[in-house]
Copies of this chain bind each other. A is one copy, B any other.
Amino acid sequence: MPRVLYAIPGALSKTALGPEEVQRREKVLSSWSAPDVDVAVRDVPTGPASIESALEEYLSVFPTAALLRDAEQEGFDAAVLGCFGDPGLDALREITTRMPVVGPGEAAFHVASMLGERFGIVTVAHGVVSPLRHLVARSGLSERLAGIAVAETSVLDVTGNRDGMIDAVIEQGRALIERRDADALVLGCMSLAFLDITAHLEDALGVPVVNPAKAGLYTAEMLARAQLRHSKRTYPQPAKLATGTVARVEDLLF
């Protein structure tokens, strides 16, 4: 029975949405997963409220590294990093050995590339456009990227206005298809992903729309079933931990 952790790199419980939103996401993911998969959702105790800039991406890494290190020891078979920007994905893969860590952004780009020639991303914050372009480049798929569009809103307000959000995403998605020649779309924000609106968007736009939460979850299931782990040639354990110079991730900062 594969155990998958969905690790939120922000302090979601402390925001206005509260711990109920963490539980709600666990229920949603469980309803999507294969019947034999056990999904848990956890957020970090301290971290950014939301991630809308490169700076906030970096701030999230340290607490998430500890969360994932603990999850691996606890026996999880795979983890999904619960933020579309995949913040610190390389560092998190340095920390774990047996448990693969999936970036939902990276996973979604790969899935979209298998569905059409070029994909567009609709996100909700101008501050992440440049980081997302670099994320696509790191995934090796820049030549498949049609463009990145922003449906104006604050990440924290996404859930408050579902219908307005859908209209804004349809408008930006249409622009990516008609003006930038996108053949498929990726939802570029996890709050958007948990609105579960892809069927609605596909009807309106006529192209496949990839939900990064599903792409991340199913990729984690795949790696767990196939017992695939990340290459330690690419993601070696930090030298100070490997040699025992420091005992714990927490001791790297002093």
- Give the Cβ gap from A197 to chain B, nearest Cβ, in Å: 13
A91 within 8 A of B: yes
8 A Cβ contacts from A205-254 to B: 206-208, 210-211, 214-215, 218-219, 221-223, 225-236, 238-240, 249, 252-254
When the two chains form the complex, which single residue of B143, B215, B221, B228 contacts A111, counting CB atoms closer than 8 Å? Answer: B228
Residues of B within 8 Å of A230, CB to CB, are: 115-116, 208
A160 within 8 A of B: no
- Pairwise interchain contact B58-A221, C-beta atoms closer than 8 A: no
- Give the Cβ gap from A176 to chain B, nearest Cβ, in Å: 12
- Give the Cβ gap from A84 to chain B, nearest Cβ, in Å: 15
Of all chain B residues, the one with the shortest Cβ separation from A141 is: B140
- Pairwise interchain contact A234-B125, C-beta atoms closer than 8 A: no
CA distance A115 to B90 in the complex (A): 10
Copies of this chain present: 6
- Pairwise interchain contact A225-B34, C-beta atoms closer than 8 A: yes
- Pairwise interchain contact B239-A227, C-beta atoms closer than 8 A: no
CA distance A36 to B14 in the complex (A): 37
A81 within 8 A of B: no
- Pairwise interchain contact A53-B114, C-beta atoms closer than 8 A: no
A23 within 8 A of B: no
Of all chain B residues, the one with the shortest Cβ separation from A47 is: B253
Residues of B within 8 Å of A143, CB to CB, are: 140
CA distance A225 to B34 in the complex (A): 8
Interface size on A, residues (CB 8 A): 90
- Give the Cβ gap from A102 to chain B, nearest Cβ, in Å: 7
A3 within 8 A of B: no
- Pairwise interchain contact B48-A253, C-beta atoms closer than 8 A: yes
A174 within 8 A of B: no
Residues of B within 8 Å of A140, CB to CB, are: 113, 140-141, 143-144
- Pairwise interchain contact A55-B211, C-beta atoms closer than 8 A: no
- Pairwise interchain contact A239-B127, C-beta atoms closer than 8 A: yes
Q: List 28 A-B contacts (CB under 8 A).
A: A32-B225, A34-B36, A34-B221, A35-B35, A46-B254, A47-B254, A49-B240, A55-B91, A58-B58, A58-B61, A59-B61, A59-B62, A59-B253, A103-B114, A110-B113, A113-B139, A117-B133, A117-B233, A130-B234, A134-B138, A183-B231, A183-B233, A184-B234, A198-B226, A206-B233, A208-B231, A210-B228, A215-B222
